[in-house]
Amino acid sequence: MNFSFNLIKTDPSGARLGTAVTPHGAFSTPVFMPVGTRASVKGVTPEALREAGAEIILANTYHLYLRPGHETIAALGGLHRFMHWDGPILTDSGGFQVWSLGKLRRIDEEGVSFASHLDGARCVLTPESVVEIQEALGSDIIMPLDECTPYPSSREYAEDSMNLTHRWAQRCKKAKKNTGQALFGIVQGGMYGDLRAASAGAITGIGFDGYAIGGLSVGEDKALMHGMAEAALPHLSAASPRYLMGVGTPEDLVWGVGAGIDMFDCVMPTRNARNGTLFTTNGKLVIKNARHERDPAPVDEGCGCYTCRNYSRAYLRHLYMAGEVLSPVLNSIHNLYYYEWLMREMRSAISQDRFGQWSKAFHEGRNAGG
Amino acid sequence: MNFSFNLIKTDPSGARLGTAVTPHGAFSTPVFMPVGTRASVKGVTPEALREAGAEIILANTYHLYLRPGHETIAALGGLHRFMHWDGPILTDSGGFQVWSLGKLRRIDEEGVSFASHLDGARCVLTPESVVEIQEALGSDIIMPLDECTPYPSSREYAEDSMNLTHRWAQRCKKAKKNTGQALFGIVQGGMYGDLRAASAGAITGIGFDGYAIGGLSVGEDKALMHGMAEAALPHLSAASPRYLMGVGTPEDLVWGVGAGIDMFDCVMPTRNARNGTLFTTNGKLVIKNARHERDPAPVDEGCGCYTCRNYSRAYLRHLYMAGEVLSPVLNSIHNLYYYEWLMREMRSAISQDRFGQWSKAFHEGRNAGG
């Protein structure tokens, strides 16, 4: 089965409801993708991921390329079999991770070279090699190599960087074999609205199975992030899925869905879980707080997740304070469920043409409860 | 439901098959109890424990007394509800943990005083208080306060220590309320066979619901451990369960069952799991070894555990090398399953009067494979 996307409807507010089909099954949009950086969503089994409501997950090409290596994963039957997740997987291209290395990396026309964070070995990634690596991994959605434009950047740098990303996107498309995997394009353009619009137009012009907005959530304020995404969106094909990379908080997701974005990923639910910060319908809950010491209530009264059905805040606090392995496990299950529940709520609201009201009520509840 | 023990049969070799009934359900003996020191078997949910075959677990009074405190657990409905395990729980008395503190503890007739390993606060445990603490926890089987005799010890020290343990045992029995919880006695006597026999007789004379052999696996060699247990066993009530505390390796369990022991606990399956050492029918497997890098085989070909059904050695090695949270989770599930499988195999062999042959084949397989 090749990749396809069916836009079911657009709510009066602009929020979109859709279904994507991949070689490993379908997922509904708008969708949140839990992050399984190194072929594991930290602490959570695939069965627990499914139970939490996840339909598609993300894995990081950069990390898997370095360890255990894409060839090892290919020899073992591909990423799905390796990690025992039989649903859709999106792999990023490594561009963002390489960018995060700062001075350890060098970018030129050919691609990026960098020192491995594991052993310092010199590595090179090119548009062609990242496609090859992701083909070996066997992910369902492949991302092209891009340069994540630093923030802040001069307009000149942002424009040059954007044009490099466009040339790399063309090389990725050319390199890609007919594997049934989808290839998305990535919009860059720094924090310049006209460049964002131009990039969206150029990437759409090349033609991809879906369109991602990259280079945001890199330190800029929310208003600027929203402005940059909104500058790009009108220039992307309405018939294709739109993916805002690396975003974000529950509030970001609600804003993004309202802006017409279909796909999101973020480490926040699992990272916060490990730090003992839990998402609830009343805002964040810091589990280590002394007031939870004897609290028999679940994290969130209305939540249907495994953790809330079976454990008290008092027990979760105890596990956290004691440094027990089960602490990140149970916290991650809850936070992922919360994120997936939020997406289900939004899909339901869109299907009933009431996303605008739903979104207003969500933000008001946040202001009241938070 | 009060505690009861039904000795179903004794195999010609001396191995025993039984059933114990507790306020939280029954378990079959010989039994292995996974250790949930701080109200959590490290990394494993209660559902996964059940799936691995666990029927009863152990928790440590000393740790729970210090954090979160038995009164907190009682206020939250008891240990079972707190940790979401509705099956039988045995709690130890803290004697062994206090003994492990070395110079930080002081022992006199009244009880033990020590500095908390968490914050240095002075704490006192008496025979009466450890019963009260375990009554508050609501465990199904309570252990009395004992002195774990140091090894090596002079005969004089071992005898005095043993007599102190006997006096404490009487005080524990006297302190215990009629809660339906079982109270076991603990045999001490250091590494002196005649003291072990005398202790078994004295503790049986006081009369308990079951009998534990303590103070072993403290640094002595296997032959000495076996000799000490075997010195005590003939003097224990045959109608009651016999529990060898803190033991042991798979080989220890097979020896112990053959010697007529009914209950075991040990941190080995979970601790080794975290260190990447996995138990198999062919001996131990060190998952970090480079030879597993591309090995698509499960940890143990014939194993029916969740980990072996779904993951390769290569993936488990990757998780271990990457320090992923899922590594101790999946490894622990396998090791616990192996231990529980071993106990089922032994119960099956006893029920068919073939434990002697089974045991011989087990040891021969070890020598061949190991």
User: ipTM of the assembly?
Assistant: 0.97
pLDDT tens-digit map of A222-232? 999 999 999 99
pLDDT tens-digit map of B174-189? 999 999 999 999 999 9
CATH number at residue A126: 3.20.20.105
A3 within domain boundaries:
no
Q: Kindly report the nearest CA distance between residue B289 and chain A, in angstroms.
A: 14
Closest chain A residue to the Cα of B330, Cα to Cα? A45
Model pLDDT, residue A99:
82
The domain containing residue B234 runs over which residues?
A: 30-266
Using CB atoms, which residue from A42, A76, A84 is nearest to B325?
Answer: A42
- Measure Cα distances from A22 to A2, A89, A142 in Å: 6, 9, 12
Looking at the structure, tell me whether residues A217 and A243 fall in a common domain. Answer: yes
pLDDT tens-digit map of B256-302? 999 999 999 999 999 999 999 999 999 999 999 999 999 999 999 99
What token pair was written down for A287?
């589990």
What pTM was computed for the model?
A: 0.97
Using CB atoms, which residue from B82, B311, B318 is nearest to A68?
Answer: B318
Model pLDDT, residue A368:
61
The structural domain count of chain B equals: 2
pLDDT category at B367 given cuts 50, 70, 90 is low
CB spacing of A84 vs B311 below 8 angstroms: yes
CB spacing of A294 vs B45 below 8 angstroms: no
How far is the C-alpha of A261 from the C-alpha of B29, rounded, in Å?
58
Model pLDDT, residue B127:
97
- Complete DSSP assignment for B275-342: TTEEEETTEEEETTSGGGTT--S-SSTT--SHHHHH--HHHHHHHHHHT-THHHHHHHHHHHHHHHHH
Looking at the structure, tell me whether residues B59 and B135 fall in a common domain. Answer: yes
pLDDT tens-digit map of B197-230? 999 999 999 999 999 999 999 999 999 999 999 9
Looking at the structure, tell me whether residues B63 and B136 fall in a common domain. Answer: yes
pLDDT tens-digit map of A133-162? 999 999 999 999 999 999 999 999 999 999
CB spacing of B76 vs A296 below 8 angstroms: yes
Indicate which residue of A92, A140, A262, A300 is catalytic.
Answer: A92
Residue window 278-307, chain A: list those with CB within 8 Å of chain B. Answer: 293-294, 296
pLDDT tens-digit map of B86-95? 999 999 988 8
Q: What is the mean pLDDT of residues B4-12?
A: 97
Q: Are B242 and B187 in contact (CB under 8 A)?
A: no
At residue B32, does pLDDT exceed 60? yes
B346 within domain boundaries:
yes
CB spacing of B67 vs A319 below 8 angstroms: no
Give the CA count within 13 Å in the CB-facing half-sphere of B33: 27
Looking at the structure, tell me whether residues B59 and B200 fall in a common domain. Answer: yes
Chain B contact set for A311 (CB, 8 A): 84
CB spacing of B38 vs A310 below 8 angstroms: no
- Single residue among A230, A245, A265 that ends a domain in this structure: A265
Name the helix (H) or strand (E) containing A210: strand A210-213
pLDDT category at A199 given cuts 50, 70, 90 is very high
Q: Which residues contact A264 (CB under 8 A, 6 or more apart)?
A: A30, A31, A32, A33, A243, A244, A247, A248, A252, A253, A256
Chain A contact set for B326 (CB, 8 A): 40, 42-45
Check if A324 contacts B (Cβ < 8 Å).
yes
A15 within domain boundaries:
no
Residues in chain A: 370
Calculate the average pLDDT of chain A: 96
B322 within domain boundaries:
yes
Check if B355 contacts A (Cβ < 8 Å).
no
A20 within domain boundaries:
no
Check if A99 contacts B (Cβ < 8 Å).
no
B20 within domain boundaries:
no
Model pLDDT, residue A93:
87
Chain B contact set for A82 (CB, 8 A): 312, 314-315, 318
Model pLDDT, residue B312:
98
How far is the C-alpha of A218 from the C-alpha of B260, rounded, in Å?
65
Looking at the structure, tell me whether residues B252 and B348 fall in a common domain. Answer: no
Model pLDDT, residue A367:
66
How far is the C-alpha of A258 from the C-alpha of A253, rounded, in Å?
8
At residue A369, does pLDDT exceed 70? no
Looking at the structure, tell me whether residues B55 and B180 fall in a common domain. Answer: yes
- Single residue among A231, A247, A265 that ends a domain in this structure: A265
Instruction: Give me the amino acid identity at B359.
Output: S
3-state DSSP assignment of residue A92: coil
A194 included as an active-site residue: no
pLDDT category at B102 given cuts 50, 70, 90 is confident
CB spacing of B329 vs A325 below 8 angstroms: yes
Residue window 39-58, chain A: list those with CB within 8 Å of chain B. Answer: 39-40, 42-45
Chain B contact set for A287 (CB, 8 A): none
A45 within domain boundaries:
no
Chain B contact set for A45 (CB, 8 A): 326, 329-330
Using CB atoms, which residue from A39, A77, A322 is nearest to B318?
Answer: A39
Residue window 59-78, chain A: list those with CB within 8 Å of chain B. Answer: 67-68, 72, 75-77
Report the relative pairing of strands B89-92 and B57-60 from DSSP bridges: parallel
Looking at the structure, tell me whether residues B285 and B188 fall in a common domain. Answer: no
Q: Which residues contact B15 (CB under 8 A, 6 or more apart)?
A: B30, B257, B258, B260, B346, B349, B350, B355, B359
Looking at the structure, tell me whether residues A228 and A294 fall in a common domain. Answer: no
Q: Kindly report the nearest CA distance between residue B52 and chain A, in angstroms.
A: 16
Q: What is the mean pLDDT of residues A287-313?
A: 98
Distance of CA A71 to the CA centre of its chain: 24
Looking at the structure, tell me whether residues A224 and A146 fall in a common domain. Answer: yes
pLDDT category at A117 given cuts 50, 70, 90 is confident
Q: Kindly report the nearest CA distance between residue A186 and chain B, in angstroms.
A: 29
Task: Give the percent of chain B with pLDDT over 90.
Answer: 92
Report the relative pairing of strands B122-125 and B89-92 from DSSP bridges: unpaired
The residue of A325, A333, A335 whose CB has the most chain B CBs within 10 angstroms, and thus the best one to mutate to test that interface, is A325
Looking at the structure, tell me whether residues A293 and A338 fall in a common domain. Answer: yes
Instruction: Give me the amino acid identity at B152.
Output: P
How far is the C-alpha of A173 from the C-alpha of A175, rounded, in Å?
5
Indicate which residue of A11, A146, A209, A265 is catalytic.
Answer: A265
Looking at the structure, tell me whether residues B237 and B291 fall in a common domain. Answer: no
Using CB atoms, which residue from B293, B296, B330 is nearest to A68?
Answer: B293
A92 included as an active-site residue: yes
Looking at the structure, tell me whether residues A148 and A182 fall in a common domain. Answer: yes
A38 within domain boundaries:
no
Chain B contact set for A137 (CB, 8 A): none
Using CB atoms, which residue from A67, A318, A319 is nearest to B321?
Answer: A67
How far is the C-alpha of B195 from the C-alpha of B203, rounded, in Å?
12
Which of these, A17, A96, A10, A16, lies nearest to A58 by C-alpha position? Answer: A96
pLDDT category at A86 given cuts 50, 70, 90 is very high
Tokens 């990725």 label which residue? A172
CB spacing of B312 vs A68 below 8 angstroms: no
pLDDT category at B370 given cuts 50, 70, 90 is very low
Q: How many CB atoms lie within 10 A of CB B36?
A: 27
pLDDT category at B118 given cuts 50, 70, 90 is confident
Chain B contact set for A333 (CB, 8 A): none
Report the relative pairing of strands A283-286 and A277-280 from DSSP bridges: antiparallel
3-state DSSP assignment of residue B130: helix
How far is the C-alpha of B159 from the C-alpha of A180, rounded, in Å?
77
Model pLDDT, residue B368:
61
Name the helix (H) or strand (E) containing A52: helix A46-52
At residue A370, does pLDDT exceed 60? no
Check if B352 contacts A (Cβ < 8 Å).
no
- Single residue among A215, A247, A265 that ends a domain in this structure: A265
